[in-house]
Amino acid sequence: MRNCMITGATSGIGKAIAYAFAKNGDNVIATGRRVDKLEELKADIEALYGVQVTIASFDVTVPEAVEVHCQKVLQEVGKIDILVNNAGLALGLDKFQDYDTGDMLTMVDTNIKGLLMVTRQLLPQMVENNCGHVINIGSTAGIYAYAGAAVYAATKAAVKVLSDGIRIDTIEKNIKVTTVQPGIVETDFSQVRFHGDKERAAQIYQGIEALQAEDIANCVLFIANQPRHVQVSDMTIMATQQATGFMIHRE
């Protein structure tokens, strides 16, 4: 039975990943900022699947909190076999020259620095155990930039390159590193991007059968369940009517 830690597990893709691993019989370590959502997740998963669920409430943008809670998790569960760096967000959809600088920095702090800090805390024990898997949730935006998303695209391109670099640095160990790059997924992602504007967020998904969080979770579980000698380095997943980035056919 593996111990799988998921950041940003209180909603969307992260929550779906937590359920997918639990259904697979794995123990889940769910992290996020909203402790009430984490407690609900823990109670529901344990009732449904009978696996152990450990929760840790912290903000990945606060390095001190990341260190304290990651080390506490390691003490509680012993080791992390699979780390899914899912915590991330987009804020705004404006031209770079007009962008709110606070939104820009929050994306950098969450999508890049948060991933760096969590991985830096947990990777050493994988190296020591000569076993582990780091799965980083990127985005097709990291491959194909689109209008109004220069900073978000840059952060997700960084996720891809960081994954490649970590894979190189751990090559002598039995550690896998994967970048998962979803396209358009219908979650609360766009509501966060537009600061709670549900009407504007809903327009993003009109006219296209978008991916669902469970689709990405199933792909992540597939990646994690490959034999020891098989490493999926990258996986890009898009809706059928999506070609690249925001190249979308709408009915």
Active site residues: 152
| DSSP class of 111 | I
If you search the block for the tokens 């296209």, which residue do you land on? 208
Which residues, in sequence order, are bridge partners of residue 236? 181
Q: Among residues 201, 215, 218, 211, which one has the least CA distance to residue 240?
A: 211
Alpha carbons 55 and 52: distance in angstroms, whole number: 10
Let me know if 212 is exposed, middle or buried by CB neighbors in 10 A (0-12, 13-18, 19+): middle
If you search the block for the tokens 């080390």, which residue do you land on? 71
If you search the block for the tokens 């929760």, which residue do you land on? 55
Alpha carbons 127 and 174: distance in angstroms, whole number: 8
